[in-house]
Chain A
Amino acid sequence: MSAEPVRTVAFGVNGETREATIPVRRTLGDVLRHDFGLTGTHLGCEHGVCGACTVLLDGRAVRACLMLAVQAEGHEIRTVEGLADAAGALHPLQQAFCDHHGLQCGFCTPGMLTTLVEFLADCPDPTAAQVRVAISGNLCRCTGYESIVAAVLDAAARMRAA
């Protein structure tokens, strides 16, 4: 093949329309990080297994490593950078992760949070067992999950009360 095929794409990222001319083979995860400087989305395995790259596509959790960025054309992406409110106050899930030691190195955290934002929207009053199923596709190698589950249950309670 002669020249690298490129395309100009435009899609929403955390409420703002972003545009870029990119090689068509660049994944959404790579474009978020390299072209838009949003390094909150982490890339671990890059083949769908670890969950670190999970972002919200029109509100649904998806793997940013398994989507080409050109496929996001016209859609709305929400990343971990878009979870805190405009004034910078942490999302209740982020606050609960802080309070319960739901992270250690933080590598898995962005994917945990985006996965759980979707989950709590669908299931606002979950049991611990349901939380474990919800994050079964997110690998954490340091905190040991117990504190993550505690953080989610607390965040769910705070969000129901709010």
Chain B
Amino acid sequence: MKPAAFEYHAPRTLEEAVAVLARVAPEEGRVLAGGQTLVPAMALRLARPGHLVDINGVAGLDRIDVADGVVRIGACVRHAAVDAPGPMGRLMALMKRHIAHGPIRARGTFCGSLANADAASEWCLLAVAMDARVEVRSARGARILAVDDLLLGSMMTTLEPDEMIVAARIRLLPERARVGFHEFARRAGDFAQVMAVAVLGDDGPRLAIGSLEPRPRRLPEAEAALANDPVDLAAASRTAAAALLLPEEDAYLRALAETSVRRALEAAA
């Protein structure tokens, strides 16, 4: 047995889950969702939670609901099940293939990725690109926060220890919108070295990049360059790469970023 000992809780309702979490949070209590990051971290003893609150048995958390132009992805929706109508669904499908491998996508969750806040998370990138919002619950109450206010930096969020994400909400894209995604990884299924997402033909261009900085972000300078007529994708890609906060000597990563952005834009154009 590789993980250190912990106590295990398997609540059946959301009320029960947040009540248990409130009780065990002071003793290093953690939510267990897909377990595809937490369990390996426990095997390596990088994580030693005193309690695990397994939310997989909580009724209703595995739902995807679409209403009023928004897709709501519950906390137990697996990577493999993430979907939405229209261009948003196409973008999700493009990105999903780059998250690890099939058996990990069968367990890992969308909301777990947001809570984990890995700089190289595809879903964090998507959430940032689309200004997603997350529904957060604790025994103290509920709040909704913009993903920009959730993600602090690499593996850091503003969640309190007694809080859990219940769902993520992402606005759907109109049928006319065009989407593109590109990722460089050393091997298929590995975490990205750099990745970029582009959405054109919506309310305004959206361009976001992930993996090189501590958290994904939109690139307003490059988005502004995309408004030029005629649009010059190569110039916008250069602007994007130049805006990244990288050590001066990282010419290789900057070049990789420029290419990734250009390919995402070309795919969307």
Report A106 CB to chain B, min CB distance, Å: 19
Number of A-B residue pairs, CB cutoff 8 Å, is 96
Bound state CA distance, A68 and B3, in angstroms?
10
Report A80 CB to chain B, min CB distance, Å: 14
Interface size counted on chain B using CB atoms at 8 A: 31
CB-CB nearest in chain A for B35 = A66
**CB of A48 closer than 8 Å to a CB of B:** yes
Bound state CA distance, A5 and B43, in angstroms?
17
Bound state CA distance, A95 and B118, in angstroms?
42
**CB of A76 closer than 8 Å to a CB of B:** no
Stretch at the interface among A22-30, A81-89, A151-159: A22-30
Q: Are B5's CB and A25's CB within 8 A?
A: yes
Q: Are A68's CB and B101's CB within 8 A?
A: no
Q: Are B36's CB and A48's CB within 8 A?
A: yes
Chain A, residues 64-99, CB within 8 Å of chain B (1/0): the string is 011110110100000000000000000000000000
Stretch at the interface among B102-110, B143-151, B228-236: B102-110
Report A58 CB to chain B, min CB distance, Å: 10
Bound state CA distance, A28 and B107, in angstroms?
14
Chain B, residues 1-42, CB within 8 Å of chain A (1/0): the string is 111111110100000000000000000000010011001101
**CB of A63 closer than 8 Å to a CB of B:** yes
Q: Are B10's CB and A70's CB within 8 A?
A: yes
Bound state CA distance, A46 and B35, in angstroms?
13
- Measured as residues with beta carbon below 8 angstroms from the partner, the interface class of chain A is 20 to 34
**CB of A141 closer than 8 Å to a CB of B:** no
Q: Which residues of B contact A61 (CB under 8 A)?
A: 102-103, 106
Q: Are B102's CB and A30's CB within 8 A?
A: no
Query: Which chain A residues in 136-161 approach chain B with CB under 8 Å?
Result: 136-137
Contact (A47, B44) CB under 8 Å given A54-B103, A62-B106, A115-B103: yes
Contact (A66, B5) CB under 8 Å given A118-B102, A134-B102, A137-B101: no
Query: Which chain A residues in 3-59 approach chain B with CB under 8 Å?
Result: 4-5, 7, 23-27, 30, 46-48, 51, 54, 57
Report B185 CB to chain A, min CB distance, Å: 11
**CB of A162 closer than 8 Å to a CB of B:** no
**CB of A105 closer than 8 Å to a CB of B:** no
Report A3 CB to chain B, min CB distance, Å: 9
Q: Which residues of B contact A23 (CB under 8 A)?
A: 1, 5
Q: Which residues of A contact B1 (CB under 8 A)?
A: 23, 25-27, 30
Contact (A137, B8) CB under 8 Å given A23-B1, A30-B1, A67-B35: no
Q: Which residues of B contact A54 (CB under 8 A)?
A: 103
**CB of B189 closer than 8 Å to a CB of A:** yes
Q: Are A24's CB and B102's CB within 8 A?
A: no
Contact (A25, B6) CB under 8 Å given A60-B106, A63-B104, A137-B104: yes
Q: Are A7's CB and B8's CB within 8 A?
A: yes
Which A residues have a C-beta under 8 Å from some C-beta of B?
Answer: 1, 4-5, 7, 23-27, 30, 46-48, 51, 54, 57, 60-63, 65-68, 70-71, 73, 115, 118-119, 133-134, 136-137
| Additional A-B contacts beyond A68-B8, A133-B188 (14; CB < 8 A) | A5-B7, A5-B8, A25-B1, A25-B3, A25-B42, A27-B3, A47-B40, A47-B44, A66-B40, A66-B107, A115-B102, A119-B102, A136-B188, A137-B102
A–B complex contacts, Cβ < 8 Å, 27 sampled: A1-B5, A1-B7, A5-B7, A24-B8, A24-B52, A25-B3, A25-B4, A48-B39, A57-B106, A61-B102, A62-B106, A63-B104, A63-B107, A67-B35, A68-B32, A70-B8, A70-B10, A71-B35, A71-B54, A71-B56, A73-B10, A119-B102, A134-B102, A136-B188, A137-B101, A137-B102, A137-B104
Which B residues have a C-beta under 8 Å from some C-beta of A?
Answer: 1-8, 10, 32, 35-36, 39-40, 42-44, 50, 52, 54, 56, 100-104, 106-107, 187-189
